[in-house]
Amino acid sequence: MKIKFWGTRGSIPVPDRRMMRYGGNTTCVEVTLGEKTLIIDAGTGIRLLGEQILRRKINDLTLFLTHSHWDHIQGFPFFKPIYSKKTSLTILGCTDSYNPLKNILARHMSSEYFPVPFDELAAKINFVNTCGGSYAIAGHTLRFIRTNHPSYTLGVRIEKGNSSFVFLTDNELESEKPVTSFGELRNFCRGASLLVHDAQFTTGEYPARKGWGHSTFEQAIELAHAAGVKKLGLTHHDPTRKDTELDAIANKIKTTCRKKSLSLLPVIIKESSSILI
């Protein structure tokens, strides 16, 4: 399983030279599962991924949308494979909205916002509802869990044999009204080869941002340690967070983990970085 990050920013893309090393594009992750390609979220990072997919002549794609907030779907209309008749795209997701996921994307591409309507896309697009279920792809099993976020949001665990990747974006671990308890999230992540978790806020910022649906660096580390995961990546960087600030945070949390004798050394995910598990 190869995981590549095409977008690591939360809330809004930031084309700012002070924020380029860790990435300015919003959430998009490519997961290579043998000969199959799974994409997680369609933030602005999906635009460059789409160009790569066309060059690599990949026609069979699966896209899992964690939720429909703008920063996780705003790149979809700029994803070039959807304009090709050769593309077969399966979109996985779940929403509690009165609009199904297809209608949400179609409204996103209505004439008020975009010149090409969803119904005129050339690709063959199929929607699969993953509410409360699982999904199989290329011998891998995808399991889903609700996260604590103002919008209905799913996390995913992808596993085959001894390898497992958990992606939990937009998840508030210390939510005052949790949909999913810390214990449930810990069990979902248990023993994962890699956990990539939301860490948008610092401990100092968090009190003024409770209820926004995001976690701190320390909270994500606590979950990873409790679940006994092997590797932890931190993502969904705040749009105001500069590279130099993320460098300082990375040094601080590594020092903290060493002082607490934690074998886990977290990595702040950079755009374009890859991890093989």
Domain residue spans in the chain?
Answer: 2-276
Measured CA to CA, the distance from residue 49 to residue 30 in angstroms comes to 8
Q: What is the pLDDT, as a whole number, of residue 260?
A: 83
Sites in the chain below the pLDDT cut of 70: none
Instruction: Render pLDDT for 224-237 as a digit per residue (tens, 0 to 9).
Output: 999 999 999 999 99
The tokens describing 148, both together, are 């604590």
**pLDDT at position 240:** 97
Q: What is the pLDDT of residue 263?
A: 81
Q: Yes or no: say if 155 and 30 are a contact pair by the CB < 8 Å rule.
A: no
Q: Which residue has the tokens 């671990």?
A: 173
3-state SS, residue 152: coil
One-letter amino acid of 34:
G
Dist CA 272 CA 21 (whole Å): 9
Phi, psi of 133 (to 5 degrees): -125, -165
pLDDT at position 40: 98
3-state secondary structure of 258: helix
For the domain spanning 2-276, the CATH number is: 3.60.15.10
pTM, two decimal places = 0.97
Place of tokens 């509690």: 96
CB 223 within 8 A of CB 173: yes
Rounded distance, CA 10 to CA 78, Å?
18
Which run of H or of E encompasses 255?
Answer: helix 243-259
Q: How far is CA 22 from CA 87, 236, 271, in A?
A: 31, 10, 5
Two tokens, residue 131: 């509410």
Backbone CA torsion sign across 188, 191, 192, 195? positive
